[in-house]
Amino acid sequence: MAQRSDEELVALLVARPDLASPPPGGVNVLGQRALSSGSINRAGEELDLLHVAILEVLLGQSAGSHGKQARRAVSEATIRSALKGRATATQINAHLATLVDRALVWRDEAGLHIAGHTAAALPWRTRHVATDVATRTPEQWRERLDGLDDPARDVLTKLVTGPSVGTTNDAGPGADPTRPVPTLLAAGLISLVDPQTVEIEPTVAQMLRAEPPLRVDNLRPPALPDSAPTSATGRTDLTATAAGAAVELLREADDVLTSLGRLPAPELSSGGIGIRELRRIAKDTGLGAQRVGLIIELLGAHHLLDVGFPDPEPVRYDGERVWAPTIAADSWTHHSPARRWAGLATAWLGLDRRPWLIGERDVDGAVIGARGRVGDLTARRERRLVLDVLDVAGAGVAPTVDDLVSHLLWLRPRMRRRLTRHAVAQTLREATEVGLVAHGALTEIGRLVLSGPADEELVAAMDAALPEPVDHFLAQADLTLMVPGTMTPELAAEVALVADLESAGAASVYRVTEHSVRRALDAGRTGAELVALFTNHSRTPVPQSLTYLVEDVARRHGTLRVGVATAFVRCDDPAVMAAVLRSSEADALALRPLAPTVLVSPAPLRDVLDGLRAAGFAPAAEDSSGALVDVREAAVRITGQRRPPGRTGAAGTVASADQLESVVARMRAADAAAQQASTTGKGVRASGGGESVTALISLAMRTGRRLRVDYVDSHGKASRHVVKVQLLRAGRVIAAEAPSGDEVQLSVHRITTVELLD
């Protein structure tokens, strides 16, 4: 470790970030931490199958007569010979160099060495790749499986459905060879971990799960489809398909926000939103429950949806916490489509959940809902791995699910139980719905999102991919409006007010009905304004049937006026009022006349409006001045939002290169301070604080000599520094640390020992 350059140490901390937290107090501490079982275990999560094979060879070849306590050095030629035919020498050398760079293997004149805890990096308990049976092909494994009797197959089934390791008394040398476990050991279908523990071969386990087998007979990465990248036209088609998916995602996200703003979802006692509420939202929006679950997870990750106490309180509110849009959702809906798409896409990539599991049962048998309290950071890694393999496949190449699974098994054998056909297929489906994958291939936008661009760069790219919004529609004789694309936000709001969405897609269809026209009139629009809307924005002549519908509803709308008495009803036509009194709703609303043109009711204003509309009338609400008012319920919002909407990181908090360089600089300084340890007859030393320490610091500042300082910070952490004092003022020492030259500030009262160096 000490012989590595600063750049090599930074690269090590990037590859093994756990080594940098907390910052080690010197290279010696870093080396000890790198050899610990926990750190090696975490490093093993990033190893591919060839890395594992090299470590297995080293474990087997380096074991001496006394086991782990007497490991021998192993030559590189021995490793290449052991893996000959299953990987090229170039591949072996490159992977060995990676293991050395990550401090899992180190070299000296004698050869290669490994730590005592190296086995913790393996994806299994014993060796399976560097063994005599590892060269078997899947067909040879299948032959041995076909020859098993039922008891032996039952043992394999238990190891496949449960833990891959089992304990038995039949694994010892004196066991009856006709028993299932000795039979399986003899056939090489299971391996011996110790005299009482066995483990199923990973290739066999994959085959019994009906998954693509983990090919340990060939340690080269499985080939992806060798199809040539699509033409520029083909890539354009992928981008257009992805953009269409993005448009649908944004529209449906608005629908889900509207639904939850109208009727929030109660929080489960275990946290999150239950499957019954998801089905209710799905029915309200016309989407599938699985699709609603994905959108809710994205909105929650993007902080547009949160749990809390609603404002205003919805009807029939029981005082408990609910899931509803945050106040940030109002401004988000006015952002450009590209910016909204960018936020949702990056939120999906960094999501610490698996939305495709919603509706399935967990290990305890409970149905999985949305936005549960417990996340899983491995979900991010799995999602990223799938897209990375698509990226490696090349532009426009669409591997099959089996191709992807086989490559992922080689890339991360430790994740073989999670990266199943089902998991990969569902991840691809979600990526397609988000707009990062189209027709099974990674899009240019998806490739850009993986690279982690700046916000504005990503928004600009997505803006170029999305079709230009349209400010027109085609009015048709069947009272529908056909919209050939995505509408501008202003037009979309007006069309949504006066018409109901009938079918969505690249060309959406809205239907104008008596109810939708009345909804627009209730919101304050006039009949003339609605006719003008159709006339100004329709590229086809406005059909007379549409004009007649609007004028007819507008003529009848507001004939009755409902105000607050508790509620009153007024009308200039006594005949209409007489009809109201004869209606079936008159008794239910307890209407009574004050005059031929005025009725009053003890019922709330909203109930009077709904009752009269149910009776076939078209009343309008008015205020005390007689002006029309919009009595639609205000959307519910969660005002206590914890964080503003923004991009969600795909890998959590990761130290930057500058931070890691600072960690290395501090290690170097700690090592330099340790080398300057006090020796008898050298330097002048003071301890315990007070005037003697201050005097020695002042002397060092005047003479330009260096100081070795033992220091305890406010958190009780002890450190050692070699510094050149620049300033002593107000009880603080400002100095340059050797050898980096970085400025440090030390409180005099926290200095325990100071030594003047030669």
Residues 199, 168 contacting (CB under 8 angstroms):
no
574 & 525 share domain: no
pLDDT for the residue numbered 385: 95
Quote the pLDDT of residue 198.
93
Whole-angstrom distance, CA of residue 40 vs CA of residue 114: 11
Q: Cα 380 vs. chain centroid, distance in angstroms?
A: 5
Gap between the Cα atoms of 249 and 302, Å rounded: 14
How many domains, in total, are found in the chain?
4
Q: Which stretch of DSSP H or E encloses residue 568?
A: strand 567-570
Report if residue 408 sits inside a domain: yes
CA 404 to chain centre: 20
Residues 604 and 542 in one domain: no
Q: What per-residue confidence (pLDDT) applies to 315?
A: 66
End residue of a domain, out of 439, 464, 489: 464
Same domain, 518 and 616: no
Instruction: Specify the residue for token string 């398909």.
Output: 241
Tokens for 329?
Answer: 């959702």
Look up tokens 């086991």; give the residue. 67
Answer yes or no: is 376 within a domain. Answer: yes
Question: Tokens 């397609």 label which residue?
Answer: 432
Q: Which of 430, 464, 498 lies at the terminal end of a domain, its last residue?
A: 464
pLDDT of the residue at 689? 57
Judge if 592 and 550 occupy the same domain.
no
Per-residue pLDDT reduced to its tens digit, 675-698 = 665 443 445 566 655 667 888 888
Same domain, 481 and 541: yes
Do 440 and 568 lie in one domain? The reply is: no
Is residue 409 in some structural domain?
yes
What confidence score (pLDDT) does residue 662 get? 84
pLDDT of residue 70: 55
Residue 77 lies in a domain: no
With a cut of 50, which residues of the chain have pLDDT below it?
A: 65-68, 228-230, 233, 643-652, 678-682
Asked if the structure places residue 221 within a domain, the reply is: no
Residue 370 and residue 278 in contact, taking contact as beta carbons nearer than 8 Å: yes
Question: Are 548 and 687 part of one and the same domain?
Answer: no
Residues 727 and 688 both lie in one domain = yes
* Domain carrying residue 498: 474-556
User: Looking at 538, 556, 574, which one is the last position of a domain?
Assistant: 556
pLDDT for 376 = 83
Q: ω before 739 within 30° of 0 (cis)?
A: yes
Dihedral over Cα of 145, 151, 155, 157: its sign: positive
- Read off the amino acid at residue 654: V
What pLDDT is recorded for position 67?
A: 45
Q: What is the pLDDT of residue 687?
A: 62
Q: Tell me, what's the pLDDT at 718?
A: 80
**Spatial separation of the C-alpha atoms in residues 538 and 528, rounded to whole Å:** 15
Please give the pLDDT value at position 492. Answer: 86
- List the Cα angle 708/713/714 in 5-degree steps: 160
- pLDDT given for residue 644 in this prediction: 45
| 415 part of a folded domain | yes
Q: Quick one: 270 and 388 in the same domain?
A: yes
Query: Looking at the domain assignment, is residue 139 inside a domain?
Result: no
Q: How far apart are CA 17 and CA 31, in angstroms?
A: 14
- Are 242 and 353 members of one domain? yes
Q: Would you say residue 205 lies in a domain?
A: no
Query: The domain that contains 719 carries what CATH number?
Result: 2.30.30.100
pLDDT of residue 688: 59
Q: Are 296 and 438 found together in one domain?
A: yes
Q: Residue 120: its pLDDT value, please?
A: 93
Are 438 and 537 contained in the same domain?
no
